[in-house]
Chains A and B, each alone.
Chain A
Amino acid sequence: MDSELLVRLILLLPLFGAVVNGLGPLFVEQMRTREGWIGTLGTAVVVVPFALTAYLFATFDGTPVVVDFFTWMEAGDLSLQFSYLVDELSLIMTLVVTGVGGVIHLYSTGYMHGDSGYWRFFAYLNLFIFAMLNLVLANNLPVLFLGWEGVGLCSYLLIGFWYTDLSNSAAANKAFIVNRIGDFAFLMAMFLLFSQLGSLDFDVLLAEGPQLSQDVLNWTVLLLFIGATGKSAQIPLFVWLPDAMAGPTPVSALIHAATMVTSGLYLLARMSELVLAAEIVMAVIAIVGALTAIMAATIAITQNDIKKVLAYSTVSQLGYMFMAAGVGAFFVSIFHVLTHAFFKGCLFLGSGSVIHSMEHVEHELEAEGHDVSDFDPQDMRTMGGLQQYMPSTGWTYFIATLAISGIPLLAGFFSKDEILFKAFEYGFVGGANYAWFVWGVGVITAALTAFYMARSYYLTFLGEPRWPDADTVHAHESSASMTIPLWILAGGSAVTGYLGLPAVIADGKLNWIHHYLGADYGGPVAEPSLAGHVPLALEWGLIGLSSGIAVGVFLYARSAYLATGVAFDETLSARFGGLYQTWSDTYYWDDFYDNVVVDSLINGLARRGLAPFDGRVVDGIVNGVAGAAQVGSGLLRRLQTGVVQNYALALVLGVVLVIGLMVFGG
């Protein structure tokens, strides 16, 4: 088949789905309840592109294919093409987006069943897939930016999906606005590159970019990274992601775990030639990644909301990926993107299944006359023992938990180990001091990861059920449309790690993903050239160390939580004291933004005018800017007195200003 045609189909099918699912039911009310049609169409327009991508992948011969749709705009020396690029990197990303995306669409047909906004949900999801495909398939920065904005918009729409709940839309606004801060940096980077190189096509950027002066390069990469921190939830712009969990769970799985949040990593991998040339910024990237990883992991230990645990875990894992990018191992960060998409997708969908069944429990309790106003179906403290009621969910959650914890021979083990190894290697062979720090933090974070994931699994699925009347009110397994996706993703969590076997095996020759993506083997992702390598015995030692830590900590957490259940949290709290409190308060980010930025600077003035954007954390910053504007607005408003002569006076003052500037300023 003609690969150009395939690319067109891959891109346009999701758009078609979004248009049909969105506009049809909007104008024809009878269509809104046709769940079968909407769900089938919505899923098909993602699964078919997946099949087409798989075909492209299988027949790909190593030569990048560029597909020009049409010329977007041509003005002066700027010519922008709607142009798409198929190469190894974009193929892998497209497979993840459509593959995991398709599974999550299937899951959503069950999860959203009976929701009045079913059609809207699928329209948004399809639109999201379309935007995400634009992002990963773009052949130049403007098209990538279009996708980048598009996914942000869809994320906004989907987080605020249940919009009757006010805090949801505050979260939606927060996500949107924080992303805009990142987008602003991205735009600036684009302007900078264009003014220097006169083009934004990837081939030009990657060929000529590294020859730019060091200052320009550093600034560009730094701005790109700031853009990436917004989308990929790194310090200090990470705060939107935990709040974004207000959206429907499939959205959390698709956008806030598997695809959109990894687009920052994709951007860095795509621009790897440039990033490698800006060594100072690489150190920044690695350190920010490491700090984010450990910070989010410690917070995750203290969370009781099952989705919040996974959300902070995602932030932490994204930190890992940035660590990899910061030590020049871009292909490893993409590898971790791939494995993470499977196990985190599986965990989120599993949590959705749990929440569904806990909501069922809530309804039954209500029917029996209990007061359920305090009952939170997402709180792990009221769960427990769910394994016996929902075996599929439990087993898949368990597999994914093992995978993310880095238990040997599952996916997370390989990708995480590779990150740690690359960091170690960059310090050991490359001689970069910050790499040691990154490596150390990475090892500690690995231990924390095993701990909080084990906690989440054992609190949720084992032990005694902790909801009231647990002997009469039972939880139920979810429908097949939800459990089948879980098993698919769990399977992926088990096996995808073998795509990147570590260097100790056959001297790295079996590391498929490295050979596929790496520039040394004709792929698109550059890597630093290091002289020498880590001795084999030391490599084995490192692997042994991290496996030992993962297994040990996991077993420790298992025994602790099996023995004492929720009470162990108090033991922890007592042992770590103020430190635990700090974690539990998410390092006072909320307080910082609230008290320092909002209260002391603008004294709450910002809030009144911006009620819809009310929120707590980064709204603080946002409200800070807006608040300053509001203060200015208040002053200016006083000038707008409504009296016509004051207006005339302003006009005369303007006359004086203009004459002055014109006569004396020229």
Chain B
Amino acid sequence: MELARAFSTMAADLPAIFSMIVVSVVGLVMLTVAAFRSDHPSIPWLGVAGMVVASAWELFQLGTEPGTAFFGAIRVGGYAAFINLLVLLAGIATTILSVPYLHRLKHDYGEVYALLMYATVGMILLGSSNSMVSIFVGLETMSVCLYVLAGLIREDEGAVEAALKYFLLGAFSTGFFLYGIALMYGATGTMYLPAMAQADLATAGGTLLFWAGVALFLIGFLFKVSAAPFHMWTPDVYQGSPTPLTGYMSTASKAAAFGSLILVLYYALPAERWTLVLAVVAVITMVVGNVMALSQANVKRMLAYSSIAHAGYILVALAAGTEAAFAGALFYLLVYTVMNIGAFGVMALLEWDGREGRVQTLDSLAGIGTDRPVLGVTMVVFMFSLTGFPPFGGFFGKYAVFAPAVDAGLTWLVLIGVLMSAVSGYYYLRVVYVFWMQDRDDVVDARQASLGGLPPVSRTSQGVLVVCAVGLVAMAFFSGGLIEAATGFFDASAMAAAGGGG
């Protein structure tokens, strides 16, 4: 290809990565400001502004036809825009929630918010990848930033332990992931997802090579979405990391990883050979997540196991592998992102003294609902939604992932899922119970914990939580339209626009 023509094509493709450009440039500006004054109060709001601009752009891309850019490396159109929007909204919410939290901890460095921006860029790249190269780059950009964010409070031994565990296991799984890419590449001769599906795996050795590669490749994703038995890092890391950032890790990075995984399953993997693998992993994940969550005294750790369980529910849809199931998974990601960011956000605003998040027991929050009604009420919404209680989005999300799985003949899997989500009622409702139905004076932990005084109320942060809670109710009412729209991302023209090839 002639170099000049290549450059002009790439210049024409720039709008495809508009939001990545905006977010990274704003990130650079933030770094520059931080170089002069690290805790300048305008830095997080710069980031929010950048992400708002990017999300506005993505909002308009939602309805566009699917296609590719940069010689098939990047995917554009509705699907990519949906994942990107999700990631950006999570980023906005996290930034706003982090401001009072990090300020209280005296860790409100501008670099933190800049890192958040770069992690977001990685997620956007991941969610709109069309080739193995961009998947790898996106995934690693995201992960490296998150390793740093996990260990942000480096004076705290819990935080550095979280960072170390996250980093070591993350890098370890990256090894498998990259090996998987290498084997798939070797078997098919291409890095591009649609081309991979059309590759001829003529020889028996090639087939074996390919499927072993797929297995290793899947492991990389399963690690990132914390599916069991690749989940072991999750509770430790979530418990130790700064709470609002934990919310970000548990939602945005999962949304991007799942979004990318769906693309791979949809475009690159021909036969339904992965159904069994994903179904088995989904069962293990749901069981481990829910069962372990039962016995946790620390809310962050409980929420970590709960997020493992939720990854299991989404995997049920992925195992089904139909377009309706993928659409259901997308809707579930949306609901899950909102409710989990909310739940971690509430916990972030309830920590007595910054570092207590990792040692704070649920009991110490007895009767907090009456002191902080906004946090209490929104937490009830999040908990009921996580349980999958009808008036809230969580119920419709579960419905959207389970119903297509039944249609695809995975009834046994759905039965386990429904049973497990019934079990989940115990630990979610326990939070509601402690928040509202216990009296502080009856609980030793709570009396001691409150001696330090409640953290001050932050109105903007509470506003974000209220928006999340209202959004969950709204999603219940618009679930039909949202699922319909998500199904639209997989229509025939998306298939036709396979494109790509090197």
Contact = CB atoms under 8 A, between A and B. Distances in A.
Given A642-B236, A662-B274, A666-B273, A657 B229 contact: yes
A180 B425 contact: yes
Contact of B294 (A78, A184, A633): A633
A659 B438 contact: no
B295 A637 contact: yes
Contact of A173 (B228, B377, B406, B433): B433
Given A612-B430, A637-B295, A662 B215 contact: yes
Interface in A163-199: 163-164, 166, 169, 172-173, 176-177, 180, 184, 187, 191, 195
Interface in A628-657: 629-630, 632-634, 636-637, 639-640, 642, 644, 646-648, 650-651, 653-655, 657
Given A626-B426, A654-B229, A662-B215, A648 B168 contact: yes
Contacts of B219: 651, 654-655, 658
B214 interface: yes
A629 B176 contact: no
Contacts, number: 163
A184 B406 contact: no
- The dominant DSSP class at the B interface is helix
A661 B216 CA distance: 12
B173 A651 contact: yes
B426 A663 contact: no
B139 interface: no
Interface stretch (A69-77, A88-96, A294-302, A330-338): A69-77
A111 to B, nearest CB: 21
B396 interface: yes
Contacts of A177: 425
A184 B422 contact: yes
Nearest to A639: B232
B169 to A, nearest CB: 6
Contacts of A191: 406
Contacts of B164: 644
A598 to B, nearest CB: 16
Contact of B215 (A149, A648, A658): A658
A71 B480 contact: yes
B412 interface: no
Given A73-B479, A644-B168, A655-B219, A662 B430 contact: no
Contacts of A172: 437
Contacts of B212: 659, 662-663
Given A184-B422, A634-B295, A655 B216 contact: yes
B484 A74 contact: yes
B391 interface: yes
Interface stretch (B14-22, B125-133, B275-283, B344-352): B275-283
Contacts of A74: 480-481, 484
A500 B164 CA distance: 76
B271 A75 contact: no
Contacts of B324: 75-76
B273 A169 contact: no
B230 A651 contact: yes
B265 to A, nearest CB: 13
B288 interface: yes
Interface residues of A, number: 64
B472 to A, nearest CB: 15
A640 B484 CA distance: 41
Interface centre among A172, A625, A633, by most chain B C-beta atoms within 10 angstroms, is A633
A621 interface: no
Contact of B229 (A629, A633, A650, A662): A650
Interface residues of B, number: 70
Given A26-B373, A75-B483, A163 B295 contact: no
A636 B425 contact: no
A659 B216 contact: yes
Given A27-B373, A78-B403, A651 B223 contact: yes
A180 B479 CA distance: 24
B60 interface: no
Interface centre among B233, B236, B291, by most chain A C-beta atoms within 10 angstroms, is B291
Contacts of B211: 662-663, 666
A169 B433 contact: yes
Contact of A149 (B294, B390, B396, B403): B390
A27 B376 CA distance: 12
A613 interface: yes
B292 A662 contact: no
A269 to B, nearest CB: 23
Given A163-B438, A629-B423, A663 B230 contact: no
Contacts of A19: none
A643 to B, nearest CB: 10
B169 A648 contact: yes
Nearest to A631: B291
Interface of A: 26-27, 70-76, 78-80, 145-146, 149-150, 153, 160, 163-164, 166, 169, 172-173, 176-177, 180, 184, 187, 191, 195, 609-610, 612-613, 625-626, 629-630, 632-634, 636-637, 639-640, 642, 644, 646-648, 650-651, 653-655, 657-659, 661-663, 665-666
Given A76-B487, A164-B439, A612-B434, 6 more contacts: A26-B377, A150-B390, A195-B406, A642-B236, A644-B169, A661-B215
The 7 closest A-B pairs by CB, nearest first: A73-B480, A666-B273, A647-B232, A662-B215, A654-B229, A74-B480, A163-B437
23 contacts: A26-B377, A73-B483, A75-B324, A75-B400, A76-B324, A76-B403, A146-B390, A149-B390, A173-B433, A184-B418, A632-B287, A633-B291, A648-B168, A650-B230, A654-B229, A655-B215, A658-B215, A659-B216, A661-B276, A662-B274, A665-B276, A665-B277, A666-B211
Interface of B: 164-165, 168-169, 172-173, 176, 208, 211-212, 214-216, 218-219, 222-223, 228-230, 232-233, 235-236, 271, 273-274, 276-277, 280-281, 287-288, 290-292, 294-295, 324, 373, 377, 389-391, 396, 400, 403-404, 406, 418, 422-423, 425-426, 429-430, 433-434, 436-439, 442, 477, 479-481, 483-484, 487
